[in-house]
């Protein structure tokens, strides 16, 4: 699986937007971009995924660069509950693809 790079940590104030970047310069045409997050003492949970176009759901938005070599996860209004480690993962669409997790970005949200 292709490698992603993310900042080790980021900080945000509560109720402000947060932009979490991810670089994936070696992405292939069949790779989807997935974001998961892991709250303290829990297993990872799905946030969002996309291929080429920007995606929105109730949790977040995913902005994908035109060349697909980078993406940004956008939390529109950070809450204290959004404090977690956020993982950006590439995964091809076919069967049997496991996730290759990096160290992720630890997001702290300040009240």
Partner 1 sequence: GAGVSQTPSNKVTEKGKYVELRCDPISGHTALYWYRQSLGQGPEFLIYFQGTGAADDSGLPNDRFFAVRPEGSVSTLKIQRTERGDSAVYLCASSLTGRGTDTQYFGPGTRLTVL
Task: Report if residue 43 touches partner 1, rule: CB under 8 A.
Answer: yes
Nearest to 77 by CA among 11, 19, 10, 17: 17
Instruction: Tell me the site size for partner 1, rule CB under 8 A.
Output: 25
Query: According to CB under 8 A, which one of 42, 66, 67, 111 is a site residue for partner 1?
Result: 42
CA distance 13 to 16: 6
Of 37 and 75, which has the nearer Cβ to partner 1?
Answer: 37
CA distance 93 to 88: 16
Q: Which segment (15-23, 52-60, 66-74, 89-97) binds partner 1 by CB under 8 A?
A: 89-97
Task: Report if residue 96 touches partner 1, rule: CB under 8 A.
Answer: yes
Q: What residue has token string 């069949």?
A: 30
How many other C-beta atoms lie within 10 A of the C-beta of residue 106?
16
Interface residues with partner 1 (CB under 8 A) are 32, 36, 41-46, 49, 85, 87, 91-104
């Amino acid at each position: 699986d292709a490698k992603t790079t993310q900042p080790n940590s980021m900080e945000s104030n509560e109720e402000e937007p947060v932009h979490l970047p991810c670089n994936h310069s070696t992405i292939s045409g069949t790779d989807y971009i997935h974001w998961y997050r892991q709250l303290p003492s829990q297993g990872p949970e799905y946030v969002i995924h996309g291929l080429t176009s920007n995606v929105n759901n109730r949790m977040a938005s995913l902005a994908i660069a035109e060349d697909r070599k980078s993406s940004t996860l956008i939390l529109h209004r950070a809450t204290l509950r959004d404090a977690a480690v956020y993982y950006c993962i590439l995964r091809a669409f076919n069967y049997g693809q496991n996730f290759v997790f990096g160290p992720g970005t630890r997001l702290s949200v300040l009240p």
